[in-house]
Structure 1
Amino acid sequence: MSLAEIGATPAGGVNRQALSDGEIAAWRRVIGWAVEAGLTPSTDAAGNLFLTLAGRNRAAPPLLLGSHLDSQPTGGKFDGAAGVMAALEAVVSLAEQGETPACDLIVVAWMNEEGSRFAPGMMGSEAFTGERGMDAIRAARDADGIAVGEALDRLHQAFPDVPHKPLGFAAGVYLELHIEQGPLLEAAGRTIGVVTGIQGKKTFQ
């Protein structure tokens, strides 16, 4: 709920689009919580945010947990943010109990998952996995003509003390909690199963 204050809309949702002032403010708040608990922040060339709790074996592939902090213009409070906050809460709880995990636990917030300001979406995660090159990502522009590259540089300038990781690294597991859009199943008391597939998406201009 504290995070939802950033970009809050009159309808009760959020407008916190990728690489905006709102997302910079969200980074600042989330990094503050993480550092207070002993996690180490870092980023990469694609503007993904990583918050690491060091494990016993630093060479082992890490466990990545998270989602995204950007929203649609009329987004819900929990779309994306729930995955980042749930991951942070889980990792912080371990840190507060003095637990040292077997491998690094890394909370991640991917850059521009939604694609509402810069199209197409999933830029940060696709750059991380090598599915899309940084030249193409940096060249994309929003409706006001601002390039992703300009906005990325501005984000990084706002966090000069946050170190940069190389783009992309091997992860042992990736886990993402995600809330879906509506309370209808819960209100009806229906059993909810494990998701095994998701809609496909193509963007045309």
Structure 2
Amino acid sequence: MKLSPRIQFLVKNGLKGLAWMAVLLAFYFLFRELVLSHAPDEWIARFYARPGVIYLIYAASEFFFGIIPPELFMIWAINKADALHYLYNLAFFAVVSYLMGYLNFLIGQFLNKNETFNIWKKKVLKDPEKQVRKYGIFLIIVAALTPLPWSAVSLLIGSAGYPSKRYLKYALFRFLRFAVYGYIVYQTHQI
């Protein structure tokens, strides 16, 4: 059975995203064994005493193209308190990620109206509107579910003139990502 190019795109990029998640988990477990296990109290005091700062760093990271993977914040949250507070933090992280993605989408729509940006976009990205029309739904879903830079993809989708309602609908897959990854983090950190 031959798969359509869209499904091939989804599968190929989905597998890449899972590979990146495996790499991130390997780095985390290595870091935990080599660094955290030697001075855990120092790390706990440094990062757990100021949750407001952590939330601000998370929001900024999600706005600036996901510089820090959300899984690291999930790990911070699971080590901070009990399961109920972990769920609250996970919900907060998911909502912030969704909203920051939408904010970047709106910035992309605004930039789409700027002629200088459009000239630059056509030179650098080689007709992104055509690609977004072809792969838009799949690009949103893959970025929502994998470690691809969510905000950057949202910005690109917005700058290509993608409809807001469709973006918001398919961006809901971001919540599924946080549920699945949050469950994995929870299962791997139970004492």
Give me the TM-score of the superposition, normalised by structure 1: 0.26
Larger Rg: 2
More strand by share: 1
Higher RCO by CA contacts (8 Å cutoff, separation 6 or greater): 2
More helix by share: 2
